[in-house]
Structure 1
């Protein structure tokens, strides 16, 4: 599903879309991880930022 840039807000900000380069760049920097590590975390925990943070903290 494409990221609708016209509809921003909490639901969009709380999810990590690995298909959008600008989002991957933001989240890798914000979480201090590589793209590969971020992809592993999203695959394991799901696309929500909170779930990814919890997974990375383990």
Structure 2
């Protein structure tokens, strides 16, 4: 699903888009993981930010 930049409400903030490189890069940098790890986590959690953060935290300890 593409990220609709015209809709920036609560729903958009609850998602991480795997199709937007800047979102993957930011997520990886924020969590101290590789871009490949970040992309896999985002895809595995279907873009759910809370679930992705929880998985990344287990990996990185951050």
TM-score of the superposed pair, with normalisation by structure 2: 0.73
Partner SS state of residue 43, structure 1: helix
- 4+ residue stretches of structure 1 with deviation over 6 A? none
Give the drift of 1:9: 1.9
| CA RMSD in angstroms, aligned pairs only | 1.7
Mapped to 2, the partners of 1:20 and 1:34 lie a distance apart of 16
Structure 2: which 5+ residue stretches go unaligned?
A: none
Structure 1: which 5+ residue stretches go unaligned?
A: none
Aligned twin of 2:24: 24
Aligned length: 58
* More displaced 10-residue stretch of structure 1: 30-39 or 41-50: 41-50
Mapped to 1, the partners of 2:4 and 2:46 lie a distance apart of 19
Spell out, residue by residue over 1:1-58, the C-alpha distance to the aligned partner (whole angstroms, 9 max, x if none): 3211110022111211110112112211121111111122223333111101222216
